[in-house]
Amino acid sequence: MSRPTMEQYVSKVAKPQDFDEFWGGVLEQAARVPLNPETRYSALRSDPGVEVYEVFYDSIDDVRIAGWYCAPRERSGKLPAILTLPGYQGEPGIPKEWARKGYAALSVAPRGKLRSNAQFNPGYPGLLTHNITDRNTYSYRGFYVDAWRGIDYLLTRDEVDGERIGVTGGSQGGGLTVTTSAMRQEVRAAIAGAPYLCGYVDSIELTRTYPYEEINDYLRLHPGSREAVVETLAYFDGINFADKIRCPFVIYIGLQDNVCPPETGYALFRAVGSADKKLYAADGHGHDAGKHSIEAELDAFFDTHLKGATV
């Protein structure tokens, strides 16, 4: 597909009539679950510049969520904060690099990741199609909420300035950045790299690579479920969340991305509701999305929106 054709790609996803009602119900359910945060200092992972903590909190469906929380040892006053969200296969890292840049940082392991899989563990491959014919039990229903509640955790921290919270991640973390920014208005700036979970049904036609190929595998074995699958995924598609995003928002994509088709990145960008939005499209790059060449710009973006607003 040529670049102009990619840029004009129109997603096939339709927004369900009851999209807001559905997610409103989920949020109501989540609001009834106390966070019960627990923060344990990790002497092993802390170093002279950064305090590291193991974090746990409750989410819906009685699932206990884990994370890593870091803060710079040297600080004066409240800190801006970054929520980092993980990719599909990898384990969430310890976000020391953000702390070294002067942020409090939380890296969340949503349900099914290693330290959050005691109650829910569909496996990899598997997560993407777990209960995919039922929006009320689909894996990402809870998974999204787990990420969103990372904001609630940050708000419990005395050292965090709740008015200066940013969100970022790549791949699945990019998709979660979209939904988190849309559903949590506390987010003041966000950067989504090579966003996954945006244009699911488009992607299974545009590429035949895993993880999206999990859906094609499922449909091959269960051809009669296609309508139900498409219906479910519409509730979880980042493109359908994007119009709710009001904060400054950056998306970066690779035009040769073999995992998350760039066409869906363009469709997502058009759907983002924020007036302050920017897209970096890197030619010659795959799922790395050219991040290496724009790291200074990305850092400056957060510095402007999260540090520039120093009270």
> And the tokens for 70?
């870091």
Letters for 245-274 (x = contact with another protein by CB under 8 A, - = none) are ---------xxxxxx-xx------------
Cis bond upstream, residue 248 (ω within 30): no
Q: Which residues belong to the active site?
A: 171, 257, 285
Letters for 102-131 (x = contact with another protein by CB under 8 A, - = none) are ------------x--------xxx------
Which segment (18-26, 180-188, 285-293, 298-306) binds another protein by CB under 8 A?
285-293
- Min dist. Cβ of residue 213 to another protein (A): 5
Q: Strand 104-109 and strand 63-72: pairing? A: antiparallel
- Min dist. Cβ of residue 81 to another protein (A): 21
Which segment (33-41, 55-63, 184-192, 211-219) binds another protein by CB under 8 A?
211-219
Q: Strand 50-59 and strand 63-72: pairing? A: antiparallel
Per the CB < 8 A criterion, the answer to whether 187 and 180 are in contact is: yes
Rule CB under 8 A: is residue 54 a binding residue for another protein?
no
Query: Which residues make Cβ contacts (< 8 Å) with residue 216, sequence separation at least 6?
Result: 204, 208
- Min dist. Cβ of residue 80 to another protein (A): 22
Query: Which residues make Cβ contacts (< 8 Å) with residue 256, sequence separation at least 6?
Result: 262, 283, 284, 285, 286
Of 259, 252, 246, nearest to 296 by C-alpha is 252
Interface with another protein by CB under 8 A: which residues? 43-45, 47, 88-91, 93-94, 96, 114, 123-125, 206-211, 213, 216-218, 220-221, 254-259, 261-262, 284-288, 290, 292-293
